[in-house]
Amino acid sequence: MENVLITGCSSGFGRAGAMYFAQQGWRVFATIRDTAAAASLAGWAADNNFPLHPVHMDVTSPAGVARAVDEVLAAAGAIDVLINNAGIAIPGMFEDMPWDALQKVMDANFYGPLRVTRAVLPHMRRRGSGRIIMVSSLSALVGLPGMSAYSASKAALELASESLRLEVDRFGIFVSVIEPGAYNTAMPGKISAETAAPAESPYRELLRHLHESSKAGAGQGDDPLGVAELLLQIARTPRPAFRYPAGAQARQVIDMIAGLDAAARDTFIRSVDGTGWWSEGRAAPSNVNGKA
């Protein structure tokens, strides 16, 4: 039985991936910080007799990461696939964003996956095999207004992963990233709930518009099961590629932006959340669905 360690399994891609891998006969070690989510996932596994084991891990804690990886290796003896999925998004304007919020995003989305990977790598290297999959985002390729910290964290993760891929391939270890587009996960709702700006911010009107746009997008997008299926496909591929778009939207956007010049790219990015009015110095539209 093959073993997979997946981070961030309380909801979204992590939970869908953990359940799907278990259904396909893998022994799954699903890291979760929230005890209620861990109990729910453990109950589902027990009811269905699936080999899924919740593990407490906070990717921002070096000691916690080391302890959790040691726990998994002691129980399983091997980690065949590592999926770095845990991450957060805190929206905000670059000028306004508190420094500690920026650091929090980078710690969870960039340093966190690196911590887990460095804890697992020596084991994979000694075995001479392994798959490491980073869950990135289209935001690594397109910097939307209000998402500078998130985009920076995902772009940094992708470039670090590309370097790592070329460092560890001689040991039989393959590193890949996936870039999901819009999926029906809890992330859009969390983003809309956390959107705030200082009272004196010159960006309040823009952030309010982005807040409404994010709320309108909550509950939409593809089924996260599609990402779970892609993760399993990569895990089973003898020599996986480095970059995988996840979903029809991601493939469409990546193909489109590849052919855009700088001006057209700016126009496209403004069209995503309808922020052309801001750049043109106009008032915000009354209806975010109109995306003026």
pLDDT digits (tens, 9 = 90+) for 110-158: 999 999 999 999 999 999 999 999 999 999 999 999 999 999 999 999 9
150 is known as an active-site residue = yes
Q: Report the predicted TM-score, pTM, of the whole model to 2 decimal places.
A: 0.92
Q: Which of 76, 73, 54, 78 is nearest to 6 (CA)?
A: 54
- The mean pLDDT value of the chain amounts to 91
Sign of the C-alpha dihedral computed for residues 12, 193, 106 and 278 taken in this order: positive
Q: Which of 230, 235, 233 is nearest to 246 (CA)?
A: 230
Domain boundaries, the chain: 3-248
Average pLDDT in the 25-46 region?
A: 95
8 A C-beta contact, residue 151 and residue 140: yes
8 A C-beta contact, residue 129 and residue 173: yes
Radius of gyration of the chain (CA): 20
Token pair listed for 86 = 């845990």
Burial class (CB in 10 A: 0-12, 13-18, 19+), 35: exposed
What is the reported pLDDT for 196? 59
Q: Is 112 helix (H, G, I), strand (E, B) or coil?
A: helix
CATH number assigned to the domain with residue range 3-248, chosen from the 4 options 3.30.1340.30, 3.40.50.720, 3.10.50.40, 3.40.190.10: 3.40.50.720
| pLDDT confidence bin for 223, thresholds 50/70/90 | confident
What is the reported pLDDT for 192? 47
8 A C-beta contact, residue 31 and residue 55: yes
What is the rounded CA–CA span in Å between residue 182 and residue 219? 10
CA distance to 99, 110, 264, 268, 273, per residue, from 211 (Å)? 21, 25, 25, 19, 10
pLDDT digits (tens, 9 = 90+) for 237-259: 999 999 999 988 889 999 999 99
Average pLDDT in the 59-64 region?
A: 97
| pLDDT confidence bin for 200, thresholds 50/70/90 | confident
Binning the chain into helix, strand and coil, the percentages to the nearest 5 are 55, 15, 30
CA distance to 28, 51, 211, 222, 251, per residue, from 226 (Å)? 18, 21, 27, 7, 13
């469409």: which residue's tokens? 252
Query: Which residue of the set 20, 111, 150, 244 is catalytic?
Result: 150
